[in-house]
Structure 1
Amino acid sequence: MSDYYLSQFPEGSLVQSLRKRGWNEEAIRVLPLPKRSDWLQVFWKGAFDPQFWAGQAPPIRPAFAWYLQRIADTIQEMRDSKNGNGNSSESIASVATTSPKIILIGHSAGGWLARAALGYLSQSTGKDEAFPAIPLDCILGLVTLGTPHLSPPPQIMDMTRGALRITNEQFPGAYHQSSPDEPDSLFYLTVMGDAIRGVQQVRKSPWEPTVVSGFAYNSYEAVCGQGDVTGDGVVPLNSGHLDQAKQLTLPGIFHSINRPDQWYGSDNVIDSWHDVMLELIGRQLEQESSNRKQPWNFYFWK
């Protein structure tokens, strides 16, 4: 996913907000997704896959495999990088080693696709060039912002054509958040805005513009089958959290930077979840240092 910003409001960028909080610029990697049109690959690559049309396509099928490939490639690039310092705050972690620790931050669909990558590619042997392995011992945690984690009910068309449902079946909830004593355990933080209730809009004419609550209703209905619920304007609250994850609900926060002062990456909003993330990082690093008898150096990825 590319960084999320408006040219007239660059200060609303998630990456910019992170930099202002001391994260080294070299430690933040943005998944190379330069254009929104890249998402069209889901449909034109899935068009020739019978499992896609049958709604039975796991995310390692062509429709989403290209995205998982980019996640794996970016993680490998970060692991190979020799830029050691991930964060300027010495209270977070020592930087005495060269092995990076990576935190994945996924906004919207990027969150469940990150879960899919961790699930499927952590099981990869790395011998198949199409699916390089992601070693879980280099991942510190996963943060999702406004992510639709739950698949829609059977009566609602699944726009992922089965990929999200199958991910949940194979890797339910905070799947890799095992006992802190386990070497491959990682933390999960799900963040959801609770800004607006969907209201079905009855247009008086075809030219009447869609109001925010009407858009929310249609979006919520497509995600969870019910439009008159609350959420961030795109994703309903009841779909945005994972079982066993640290769950954080932010009142008044919207899904996208169209509300530059009221979305997950806004400079005046980010501390609401960033501080919780830092706490989870500290706990995880402390536990891993005691288990492994060595400090960790880490990078940050969105």
Structure 2
Amino acid sequence: MLPTVILPGYLESADVYLPLQQALTALGTPTTTVPLRKRDWLPTLGGRSMIPILRQLDRTVSAALVDNQAAQINLIGHSAGGWISRIYLGDIPYTIHGDVTEAEQLWNAKAKVANLITLGTPHISGERWTKKNLDFVNDNYPGAKHPEVRYVCVAGKSIYGEKKLGQWLAYSSYQQTCGEGNTWGDGITAIKAAHLTGAINIEIEGVKHSPRTPGIWYGSPAVLPQWTGYLS
């Protein structure tokens, strides 16, 4: 199997993905997580550039290719890691924040990626602090843009958003991402925001958004068989 790289979700560190990394490696795909720490996300706060994350992603992918003598990888993006991965695949220079030159080439990596698997990724959002970045992604790379890459978008169906105790967070988060609070999702990302046109779109019952949340999440052992078959 191809090597796999995991890109953590927003404000997450690599250590929380260690069980998933180990589980995937045991399945036969040597897996590495981009070695992010929570403080590595600080320069991106407030809708700023994702270049600091793309630099670490690119270094990790390059190392995985060399270490495994491979031509391609599987790329797994959890939460925001999914849409950041879409920037990485694309060939249009991500210079909208003025903090990188075209020469650095922290994008146009689609030839290196066989499969992009997104887990609970909000591919659309009305949040003002993500608008500039997500507008760049969706204006330039709508849906499963690159036919040479297989896109697999996994959504969880565990919490229905309502204005009542225990469901307020889900309601508010769904409303901010897809414009509708009364809908199903994983507690943070609504199903309709987690899927892309043209992708293989999967919906899994009972799955919650974060590896830190009690219960099962996308990387739980019982859930893995429902999406790991798409790793080459």
Q: Which has the higher strand share?
A: 2
State the partner residue of 1:269: 223
1:93-108 aligned at under 5 Å gives the runs 98-108=69-79
Q: Deviations over 1:58-113 (max 9, x none)?
A: xxxxx2111122222222222333xx3xxxxxxxxxxxxx3332110000000000
1:11-30 aligned at under 5 Å gives the runs 13-23=19-29, 27-30=30-33
Q: CA, structure 1 residues 43+5, in 2 after alignment: closer, same or farther (shift >3 Å)? A: closer
Q: Alignment partner for residue 130 of structure 1, among 100, 104, 128?
A: 104
C-alpha deviation, 1:143, in angstroms: 0.3
Q: Alignment partner for residue 143 of structure 1, among 117, 130, 141?
A: 117
Computed over aligned residues only, the root mean square deviation of the Cα atoms, in angstroms, reads 2.6
1:166 paired with 2:136, answer yes
Q: Deviations over 1:127-150 (max 9, x none)?
A: 955334544332111000000011
**Unpaired runs of 5+ in structure 1?**
47-62, 85-97, 178-184, 202-210, 282-302
Alpha-carbon distance in structure 2 between the residues aligned to 1:256 and 1:40 = 19
> Which amino acid is the alignment partner of residue 145 of structure 1?
L
Alpha-carbon distance in structure 2 between the residues aligned to 1:112 and 1:162 = 12
**Unpaired runs of 5+ in structure 2?**
1-7, 96-100
Larger Rg: 1
Q: Alignment partner for residue 61 of structure 2, among 75, 90, 107?
A: 75
Q: CA, structure 1 residues 122+273, in 2 after alignment: closer, same or farther (shift >3 Å)? A: farther
Q: CA, structure 1 residues 256+45, in 2 after alignment: closer, same or farther (shift >3 Å)? A: closer
> Which amino acid is the alignment partner of residue 253 of structure 1?
V
> Which amino acid is the alignment partner of residue 191 of structure 2?
L
Alpha-carbon distance in structure 1 between the residues aligned to 2:108 and 2:66 = 13
**Residue-pair matches, total:** 216
Would you say the 8 A contact 2:125–2:176 is kept in 1? no
> Which amino acid is the alignment partner of residue 146 of structure 2?
H
When normalised by structure 1's length, the TM-score is 0.65
State the partner residue of 2:179: 225
1:45-84 aligned at under 5 Å gives the runs 46=48, 63-81=49-67, 84=68
State the partner residue of 2:16: 5
Q: Which structure's relative contact order is higher, taking Cα pairs within 8 Å and 6+ residues apart?
A: 1
Alpha-carbon distance in structure 1 between the residues aligned to 2:93 and 2:22 = 30
Q: CA, structure 1 residues 70+218, in 2 after alignment: closer, same or farther (shift >3 Å)? A: same
Q: CA, structure 1 residues 192+225, in 2 after alignment: closer, same or farther (shift >3 Å)? A: same
Alpha-carbon distance in structure 2 between the residues aligned to 1:241 and 1:223 = 12
C-alpha deviation, 1:216, in angstroms: 0.6
